[in-house]
Amino acid sequence: MDGCRNKKLEEFALNQGFEKMYCVAPFKYDDWEKEMQGVDDDHGGWANSPDVFSQLEGTKSIVVLLSRHSPYAAFPRGYAHVPNYYVMTNKVIDRLKIVGDYIKNEFNANVLVNPKIPHRPTAIKAGAGRPGLNRLMMNKSMGSYCHISLILTDLDLEKTTKKHKDMCNKCGACVRACPTKALNMDGTWDYRKCLRHRISTNVFDGGIREHYQSLLGCERCMVACPVNKEQGELQQPTDDMINLLAMDKLLNLDNDVEYRRQLHEVFGKNVARAARMLNQSIMVCANMGWTEYKDQIKELMSHKNEVTAELAAWAYGKLCQD
């Protein structure tokens, strides 16, 4: 293994906007497999695979790259809040591909960018951080405001050996902040209660729907964390981002092809699927008490999608009570 390769690669990656680089050898994800049992079925079989070699034969190194993100502050009335994490994801993928091409061309190596392997346990194994009670990785310079990107390669890079100290003091702020009680003080969690998980399943029963106040999940466990509070103020959304998420446009998603394209461009096609965004918008509108959209919600009660129609009926009833 040649440490000079790591230095050259790290310098290039940092110049592309990444903040930290780590490297780990392939390993077996025993704990992850136990933790995520059942998620595969809930997500229609798309969940990450722990088998690295089925994705890139001959993998010798997993490159872990971290980027910093900061949650958005509140959006004005009538504009849906969204986690900045998903805005950043699309941008990071483009930078990650550039780093992958660099490894391929500079070192004549095979690579796989953004593999479908568990990101958080891989980064923790590489020494990038330690898990917190909120089930997220905590890094000493970013808290849990870190975006994890991975690259598989058959290049034999020097592996990170320094272990990361535990940043979580087990204060329980994240456990108390979780609106659906998905987190526990013993470090376990019920992923089926997590709002982010539910938008992937498109099932909003058991009182879950009452807690959606943002599109694409919830960041309350991160915002409540005292370690994250040391990272500075929440990021103010740009005017373009605010205007993109106007509720009247979101509730009219089915009829506006160009608007759907804009959402895909910012958040990615998988995350910004029209049905997902529409259903979440209905719940956000109801929970925020935005009665000015009652008429649009009422029209959606006859939507061809049964889940959408049922959510619209629930939301309309809730708004009529406000």
pLDDT, one tens digit per residue, over 82-119 is: 999 888 888 899 999 999 999 999 999 999 999 988 89
Q: Mean pLDDT over residues 78-85, rounded?
A: 94
Amino acid, res. 3: G
Q: 19-30: b or e for each residue (b if 16 or more CB lie within 10 Å)?
A: ebbbbbebeebe
Cβ pair 78, 290 in contact under 8 A: yes
Token pair of 126, please?
């590489």
List beta partners, residue 111.
Answer: 153
Give residue 31's pLDDT band: very low, low, confident or very high (50, 70, 90): low
Q: Return mean pLDDT, the chain.
A: 90
Q: Mean pLDDT over residues 273-287, rounded?
A: 93
* Percent of all residues in the chain with a pLDDT value above 70, rounded to a whole number: 92
Q: Mean pLDDT over residues 69-90, rounded?
A: 92
Q: What is the pTM of this model?
A: 0.88
Dist CA 274 CA 256 (whole Å): 10
pLDDT, one tens digit per residue, over 164-209 is: 888 999 999 999 999 999 999 998 888 888 998 888 888 888 789 9
Inter-axis angle of helices 306-321 and 274-288, to 10 degrees?
10
List beta partners, residue 143.
Answer: 139
Look at residue 48 in the predicted model and tell me its pLDDT. 56
Give residue 7's pLDDT band: very low, low, confident or very high (50, 70, 90): very high
**What is the per-residue DSSP string for 219-269?**
-HHHHH-HHHHTT-SPBPPPHHHHHHTBHHHHTTGGG-HHHHHHHHHHH-T
Q: Is it the case that residue 268 has pLDDT exceeding 90?
A: no
Look at residue 271 in the predicted model and tell me its pLDDT. 79
Token pair of 279, please?
């259903």
Give residue 2's pLDDT band: very low, low, confident or very high (50, 70, 90): low
